[in-house]
Amino acid sequence: MERIESTKIQALVMRERNLAVSEREWQHRLRGYGYGLRDSDEGRIVTSLLRGDDLCVLAAAA
């Protein structure tokens, strides 16, 4: 179940990236869904703004 959820989150995040014209707009759009981004050694991580949990890691191309 967790893998399916992670895949759905990644798809949403990348769809929003394609719609946004800038990095700042992308992050703003994600906040509307309750998600945030943070950089780590593993790459970019999608986080939950409500719980503060790490949800998934984005591909390096993001």
The pLDDT of residue 3 is 72
The pLDDT of residue 59 is 75
The pLDDT of residue 61 is 56
pTM, two decimal places: 0.84
Could you tell me the sign of the dihedral formed by the alpha carbons of 39, 14, 59, 2, in that order? positive
Q: How far apart are CA 41 and CA 20, in angstroms?
A: 25
As a dihedral over the C-alpha atoms of residue 45, residue 20, residue 28, residue 14, rounded to 10 degrees, the angle is -30
The pLDDT of residue 2 is 64
> In the chain, which residues have pLDDT < 50?
1, 62
The pLDDT of residue 1 is 41
Q: How far apart are CA 20 and CA 32, in angstroms?
A: 13
Q: How far apart are CA 1 and CA 25, in angstroms?
A: 30
